[in-house]
Amino acid sequence: MSKQGEVALTNLQKQQDEKVSGIHVFFLIHSVQSGVGGLSFQREITEVAGHDSWMAVLLGGVLVNLAIFFMYLALKKRGEDVVALHQRILGSRLGMIFSLMFMVYFISTGAAVLRTYIELVQVWVFPEISTWSISLVLILLIYYVISGGFQVVVGISVLSVILPFYLLLLLVFPLQHADFTNLLPIGQLSFKELMGATKAMTFSYLGFCTLLMYYPLLKDGPRTQKFAHIGASYTTLIYFVVILISVAYYSEKQLLANVWPTFGLFKIVRFPFVERFEYVGVATWSFVILDNVCLLLWASHRVLKRLWPQSRSILFMVIVLSLIFLENILLTGRRDIATFNQWVTYWGLGINFLYLPLLYLLGLAKGWRGRAT
């Protein structure tokens, strides 16, 4: 076992040396954003903002782009990652603590995504499937990806954007039963509602702060910014299309009654040889969430490697994956999972839109002070 561990480690480091080109940032950003959030965000935001919820999608997209803009501003000067940023701005002790906070954040987000998907499978396809067996299989797959190094994680991101693309084309079917007057009258929501919906929307947009970890591994770092923005905008566009179709296809309260409205859209699909695409959709969605979890766990692993370069990756991965496995088993039923997700969302919100701007300002202030003296 120890021998394999060493081997996996050397391989990991060897592959990490190879950088990826800019276009992959598009996939990395987009794929980590589209996960389980895409299944139920309509419900979350329509609950607050009613039929005008599409505004929250757009506003959320703008905010995400803004956040990415600031991330690049903070990173591109020195081409460093968030660990180095922490060390520089907060000092080594405090920086380490905050870097660890990121690590825990990545792991918990990954765990939340994985558990939500397992619930999805249990509700939609196999009510009798045991949580432990499916989570163990998924965890093994994730390990197989991550032990291949960053290159493989990026590759999975690319393919899991390309392969499930056909699901988007299937949205033509609910369009036939859609009634776009549901969107009228436009602008019936208050500012407070809009803000509330945007807050709810961000769960579906989160994950892009993995950029803070893989930035140094990009070829020609600063130049990749446009791909990052295109990636985030593409996510926004897809969510926008989905919310428009959802609001038009469902009536408002019907939408709220659906736990996973996106799969509800696939229920109406019918081809002469196959119908009811939600089953195919659930299977295909495994691609969408696995790449998500892989990237998040890779990022957490990267934090560890940056803090303690000598540490043993395999041990870390085994511990993290067992923790996730435990979490998967311990959370039973929708209420537990929803609570856990809620908790992760708040955390993510805090990190992305409170902590990071603060860190940025702090860095800026330090820069000024440094220049003054």
According to CB under 8 A, which residues from 252 to 311 bind other proteins? 252-254, 257, 264, 267-268, 270-280, 282-284, 286-287, 290
Smallest gap from Cβ 338 to other proteins, in A, equals 17
Toward other proteins, which CB reaches closer, 188 or 342? Answer: 188
Taking the least distance from each CB to other proteins, the nearer of 274 and 354 is 274
Per CB under 8 A, 335 contacts other proteins? no
Minimum CB distance to other proteins, residue 267 (Å): 4
Nearest distance from C-beta of residue 275 to other proteins, angstroms: 5
Among 184, 335, 369, 370, binds other proteins (CB under 8 A): 184
Under rule CB under 8 A, residue 230 binds other proteins: no
181 or 310: CB nearest other proteins: 181
Q: Name the residue among 190, 178, 182, 177 with its Cα closest to residue 51.
A: 182
Minimum CB separation from other proteins for residue 204, in Å? 22
Query: According to the binding rule CB under 8 A, does residue 152 interact with other proteins?
Result: yes
Comparing CB distances to other proteins, the nearer of 105 and 150 is: 150
Q: Which of 2, 181, 310, 373 binds other proteins (CB under 8 A)?
A: 181
Query: Binders of other proteins among 72-111, rule CB under 8 A?
Result: none
Chain-centre distance for alpha carbon 285: 13
The 3-class SS string of the chain reads CHHHHHHHHHHHHHHHCCCECCHHHHHHHHHHHCCCHHHHHHHHHHHHHHHHHHHHHHHHHHHHHHHHHHHHHHHCCCCCCHHHHHHHHHCHHHHHHHHHHHHHHHHHHHHHHHHHHHHHHHHHCCCCCCHHHHHHHHHHHHHHHHCCCHHHHHHHHHHHHHHHHHHHHCCHHHHHCCCHHHHCCCCCCCHHHHHHHHHHHHHHHCCHHHHHHHHHHECCHHHHHHHHHHHHHHHHHHHHHHHHHHHHHCCHHHHHHCCCHHHHHHCCCECCCCECCHHHHHHHHHHHHHHHHHHHHHHHHHHHHHHCCCCCHHHHHHHHHHHHHHHHHHCCHHHHHHHHHHHHHHHHHHHHHHHHHHHHHHHHHHHHHHHHC
Minimum CB–partner distance for residue 301 and other proteins (Å): 16
- Nearer Cβ to other proteins (144/308): 144
The reply to whether 185 sits near other proteins by the rule CB under 8 A is: yes
The interface mask with other proteins, positions 109-138, x = CB under 8 A, is ------------x-xxxx-xxx-xxx-xxx
- Taking the chain, what is the end-to-end CA distance rounded to the nearest angstrom? 54
We find the least distance from the C-beta atom of residue 18 to other proteins, in angstroms, to be 9
Nearer to other proteins by C-beta: 162 or 364? 162
CB 351, min distance to other proteins, A: 29
Q: By C-beta, is 24 or 199 nearer to other proteins?
A: 24
Q: Which is nearer to other proteins, 279 or 355 (CB)?
A: 279
Q: Residue 11 interacts with other proteins (CB under 8 A)?
A: yes
- The reply on whether position 358 binds other proteins by CB under 8 A is no
